[in-house]
Amino acid sequence: MREEGQPAVENHDDGALRERAAHLDGQDPLAHYRDLFIGTDSDLSYLDGNSLGRPLKRSITDISTFIRDGWGGRLIRGWDEEWLELPQAIGDQLGRAVLGAAPGQTVIADSTTVVLYKLLRAALAAVTDPARTEVVLDTDNFPTDRYLVEGIAREEGLSLRWIEADPAAGVTPEQVREATGPTTAVVLLSHVAYRSGFLADLPAITEAAHRAGALMVWDLCHSAGSVELDLDGAGVDFAAGCTYKYLNGGPGSPAFAYVNSRHLASLKQPIWGWMGRKDAFEMAAGYEPAPGIRGFLSGTPAIFGMLAMQGTLDLIEEAGMAAIREKSLKLTAFAVELFEAWLEPLGVILASPGDPDRRGSHITVDHPAFRNVTAALWEQDVIPDFRAPHGIRVGLSPLSTSFAELFRGMAAVRDQLRG
């Protein structure tokens, strides 16, 4: 009987590729981390870690302990004893382990959409030159980024300058240099393109924005936890990202905001709430923002939503982002190898950069049949995700994805296309 998701008839090339997957797993220094995640002992092939990461087994204990001892045992005392400090404490760990950010610049709060809104409005308010009335963004950025900027531009009477991004690649430093100038206020881009997986040159683009006199805002949703970052070293002004992809925070876990320390003393974020006040429990009249990154909080922190990501941050600190990135490169390279052997002959197109160094941790492949193929794959416990009009994204989370799992999933895609 064949293994779930395997082709009915395996030819010589399949056998060689299966052996290669086994060899890559055998040589993988991060392979043992996979056993720490729920569900990895099944035949399910999960190729969507770039949308929602698997939960860690320790999260069951962490959350149960919190319910019993923290919430249930300490009750309201928990706010004074620990919870009020969690947004900054976890933010500092995230900055240290993932973002390349010194302490005091990262905080966990809100959703990515709300965080980006705060950062964009704060950045625009910091621009003092009345001639700077343009925001630069690209046509293939994630929808929430585009919608936010369109809404803010309408409110503030700003102009938008659109960079026409190649859907199979992304925005280049040359395009940013051409699009920016004396009228540019802010540039907003994604580090890893959500559709193609293109990895933007963050240091060079940040430098290009600064040379034009503009502020730089990065969306790190598809890179945080899978790609090495050095926000401080690159001089990034602002960044936001979610925590439920490669950081395994769980569905709807809160986002993070990064604000470079050189801006913190002068910036004012637009959503004033009690948790961002200098003394949240003073309950006094008038809003006085808390100093530093805490001033970017608004409402009550989602403590539950922060618990699961702590386990992943501990693993990332242990493994190191350099090793995680190295595995990510090998995973996407093997995915492309399987694509070339199995899917390209069936008319599938690679809609991602061919150079592994120019990719994040997912690839996209296109075929007109993929909408229906994806639905059939999900029924077989093979789970990529579909992106209109006809793309399948193969998302590979380095700490929880094995090469054998990738082999099974890509084989199932091929078999569905063959009918």
Q: Check 118, 132, 359, 393 and give the catalytic one.
A: 393
57 catalytic per annotation: no
User: By C-alpha distance, which of 152, 178, 151 is closest to 165?
Assistant: 178
Contact assessment for residue 400 and residue 34, using Cβ atoms and an 8 Å cutoff: yes
Catalytic residue status for 244: yes
Radius of gyration for the alpha carbons in the chain, expressed in angstroms and rounded? 22
Cross-strand bridge partners of residue 134: 159, 184
393 belongs to the catalytic site: yes
Point out the catalytic residue in the list 33, 37, 46, 142.
142
For every residue of 278-307, DSSP letters joined together read: SSGGG--SS--BPSGGGGG--S---HHHHH
Which DSSP state fits 277?
B
CA-based nearest residue to 219, from 128, 121, 137:
137
| Helix segments in 212-260, DSSP class H | 231-234
What is the rounded end-to-end Cα distance, in angstroms, of the chain? 19
Catalytic residue among 118, 245, 294, 387: 245
The span from the CA of 184 to the CA of 270, in Å, is 21
Bin 235: left if φ > 0, else alpha if -120 < ψ < 50, else beta. left
Q: Are 394 and 47 in contact (CB under 8 A)?
A: yes
> Which residue of the set 244, 334, 339, 386 is catalytic?
244
Sequence letter at residue 241: G
In the 8-state DSSP scheme, what is residue 85?
G
Task: Tell me which of 92, 219, 385, 415 is the catalytic residue.
Answer: 219
Q: How far is CA 104 from the centre of its chain?
A: 21
Alpha-carbon distance 181 to 136, whole Å? 10
Q: Which residues does the annotation mark as catalytic?
A: 142, 219, 244-245, 393
